[in-house]
A and B are shown apart, each in its own frame.
Chain A
Amino acid sequence: MRYFADWIIENLEFTRAIPSEYVYLIIMVVGGLLLLLFVVPMAGALTFVERRVAGKMQSRIGPNRVGPQGIFQFVADGVKLILKEDIIPTAADRRLFKLAPYIVFVGSFLTFAALPFSQKLIAADLNIGILYIFAVSSMVVVGIIMSGWASNNNLSLLGGMRSAAQIISYEVPQILSVLAVILLTGTLGMQGTIKAQGWAPQHWFLFHNPFAFIAFFVFFISAVAECNRIPFDIPEAESELVSGYNTEYSGFRFGLFFLAEFANVYVISAVAVTLFLGGWNTPFYLPTGIWGLLPSAVNLAGLITFLIKTFVLVFVCMWLRWTLPRLRVDQLMTVGWKYMVPIAFFNLVGTAVWMLVWGDKSIAALLGG
């Protein structure tokens, strides 16, 4: 974003009259709106894709009425959600009840500011990018607890408390497994992490060393748990809690919870791609300048690569959801504290030992001589 702002200030005459601070401010607002324009339709489309995938996996069809193959189903759903009556229970704490969905959505939307899309396409390449993502996504917990409590409903409260306990416990292995990658790169910036990886799979951090390989799975499993998705969806457990913390919500506010959930799935997939799967590094070499390839074309190739990798992981999330049964609460905590956390610690120490012995050489570099 900074890059675009500098380009605009340098190349467009009429911006000279305005102080550069305001130009940056305007660019930031426009960038935020663009991200919103990306997130909302993307999350909406994901709901449709998820239902179709679920249909295929269960040998049924799924939504196929609205538009060709039902691809406009999410538009219809959105219209329905917006037009529906917005019900607030009489016993609810009205202000908190209204506020909670926004906090949940803003918490997951803010993470997009630090997510890279391609070489130049990133809203803010913070030098603390990955920490920032964890920090703002921890705001989601506050929103979920608020919604559970404000609904003044036992099932909602139970769902909210379960969700908060789960998110806080799984944050520990998640951050610990990310630390292994941070040890390898020595940076917290998202673009720096991607630049430290190469285009080919053997240059990705996933195959950097055995510990990073395990770290990826620890990260992905705990990230799925943080999204409250099956097999870790005990906070929403339809068969026991109706729908958990969002039971009492309807209309637009319910839609926000839904959008936030699918935006979160995208975020965890994008972070996993950034940290472990080489990010926007295209799987073939793109010579700039030689064949007249513009930098923007390289950017576009990076963007497409990144999105393909991310949506493959999003598909894996859906695949998990429709294949695995739900864990019980005690099993959930056992998996988190007795398996994930020790494995993550082991990985961290293992990565440190690896770096002590071989420096930041990967397996491929060692085998190649």
Chain B
Amino acid sequence: MESFLFYIFGGIAVASALLVVTRRNAVGSAIFLILCFFCLGVLYLLLQAHFVAVIQVLVYAGAIMVLFLFVIMLLNLSQIEFGRIRNLALKVLGAALGVVLLINILGAINRPQLSEGVPLSEGFGGTAQVGMLLFSKYLIPFEVASVLLLAAIVGAIILARREF
């Protein structure tokens, strides 16, 4: 069952990621990216990461991608032509570099260095465990992240303001 779901949702994730890269229309790309994130959320569930899976859907599909869609519609980008094939050579080179990177990554994974998996402890991936870690071992990064978010809010408002 697990491998079945893994191949289904992994396949959809890869297909939609490819569509994100190849769609002309920015709105189409964004929709497929949402689908891809949704599939990743399901994969997180398969990996027993319940809290992360829900946060993935809530934050990525529900908030970040809505922000993207908002900006795309605000700029009405679909009307702007991007189709001209300029510097085709650069594009081919870029794609080739990406494939080389992929081969490198796969080669690195293939090297059998991974130790045996450790059996999961009770309550793995639950909200309680994440909370315990966040407020004990990772307290300072957590606080820094909140400051980062505040800075981002202020920065976004300053940048998006019409009059400078």
Question: Taking the complex as a whole, does A directly touch B, i.e. does some CB pair lie under 8 Å apart?
Answer: yes
List the interface of chain A (C-beta within 8 A of B).
Answer: 21, 25, 93, 96, 126-128, 131-132, 134-136, 138-139, 141-142, 145-146, 149, 157, 161, 164-165, 168, 171, 188
Select from chain A the residue with minimum beta-carbon distance to B28.
Answer: A96
The complex places the Cα of A142 from the Cα of B38 at a distance, in Å, of: 12
On whether the beta carbons of B69 and A127 are closer than 8 Å, the reply is no
> B66 at interface (Cβ–Cβ under 8 A)?
yes
On whether the beta carbons of A168 and B66 are closer than 8 Å, the reply is yes
The complex places the Cα of A168 from the Cα of B70 at a distance, in Å, of: 12
Contact among A127, A128, A138 with B63 in the assembled complex (CB-CB below 8 Å): A138
Contact flags (1/0) for B107-149 with A, using CB distance below 8 Å?
0000000000000000000110000000000000000000000
9 A-B residue pairs with CB within 8 Å: A96-B27, A131-B54, A138-B61, A145-B70, A146-B31, A146-B69, A157-B73, A164-B66, A171-B62
On whether the beta carbons of A142 and B126 are closer than 8 Å, the reply is no
On whether the beta carbons of B31 and A96 are closer than 8 Å, the reply is yes
The complex places the Cα of A165 from the Cα of B67 at a distance, in Å, of: 10
Secondary structure at the A interface, as helix, strand, loop or mixed, is helix
B1 → chain A, closest Cβ, in Å?
5
How many residues on the B side are at the interface (Cβ–Cβ under 8 A)? 21
Select from chain B the residue with minimum beta-carbon distance to A150.
Answer: B27
Contact flags (1/0) for B8-32 with A, using CB distance below 8 Å?
0000000000000000000110010
On whether the beta carbons of A128 and B54 are closer than 8 Å, the reply is yes
> B58 at interface (Cβ–Cβ under 8 A)?
yes
Select from chain A the residue with minimum beta-carbon distance to B73.
Answer: A149
> B6 at interface (Cβ–Cβ under 8 A)?
no
The complex places the Cα of A138 from the Cα of B70 at a distance, in Å, of: 15
Select from chain A the residue with minimum beta-carbon distance to B25.
Answer: A93
Query: Please, which residues of chain A bring their CB within 8 A of the CB of B66?
Result: 141-142, 145, 164, 168
Contact among A135, A145, A171 with B54 in the assembled complex (CB-CB below 8 Å): A135
On whether the beta carbons of B127 and A128 are closer than 8 Å, the reply is yes
Q: Can you name 11 extra interface pairs (CB under 8 A) apart from A134-B58, A135-B55, A161-B73?
A: A21-B1, A131-B55, A141-B62, A141-B66, A142-B61, A142-B69, A145-B73, A146-B69, A164-B66, A164-B70, A165-B70
Query: Please, which residues of chain A bring their CB within 8 A of the CB of B50?
Result: 126-128
- Most chain-B Cβ atoms within 10 A of its Cβ — which of A25, A93, A131? A131
On whether the beta carbons of B31 and A138 are closer than 8 Å, the reply is no
With A21-B1, A139-B57 in contact, do A131 and B127 touch (Cβ < 8 Å)?
Answer: yes
On whether the beta carbons of B34 and A127 are closer than 8 Å, the reply is no
A167 → chain B, closest Cβ, in Å?
9
A135 → chain B, closest Cβ, in Å?
4
The complex places the Cα of A366 from the Cα of B51 at a distance, in Å, of: 35
Select from chain B the residue with minimum beta-carbon distance to A164.
Answer: B66
Query: Please, which residues of chain B bring their CB within 8 A of the CB of A157?
Result: 73
Query: Please, which residues of chain B bring their CB within 8 A of the CB of A126?
Result: 50
The complex places the Cα of A142 from the Cα of B126 at a distance, in Å, of: 27
The complex places the Cα of A21 from the Cα of B63 at a distance, in Å, of: 34
The complex places the Cα of A141 from the Cα of B65 at a distance, in Å, of: 10
B56 → chain A, closest Cβ, in Å?
8
- Most chain-A Cβ atoms within 10 A of its Cβ — which of B31, B65, B70? B31
The complex places the Cα of A168 from the Cα of B67 at a distance, in Å, of: 10
Contact among B28, B69, B126 with A145 in the assembled complex (CB-CB below 8 Å): B69
Query: Please, which residues of chain B bring their CB within 8 A of the CB of A138?
Result: 57-58, 61-63
- Most chain-B Cβ atoms within 10 A of its Cβ — which of A134, A136, A138, A164? A138
The complex places the Cα of A8 from the Cα of B162 at a distance, in Å, of: 64
- Most chain-A Cβ atoms within 10 A of its Cβ — which of B27, B54, B70? B54
On whether the beta carbons of B57 and A127 are closer than 8 Å, the reply is no
Select from chain A the residue with minimum beta-carbon distance to B72.
Answer: A149
The complex places the Cα of A76 from the Cα of B164 at a distance, in Å, of: 58
Select from chain A the residue with minimum beta-carbon distance to B1.
Answer: A21
B39-72 contacts to A (CB < 8 Å):
50-51, 54-55, 57-58, 61-63, 65-66, 69-70
With A96-B31, A142-B65, A145-B70 in contact, do A127 and B127 touch (Cβ < 8 Å)?
Answer: yes
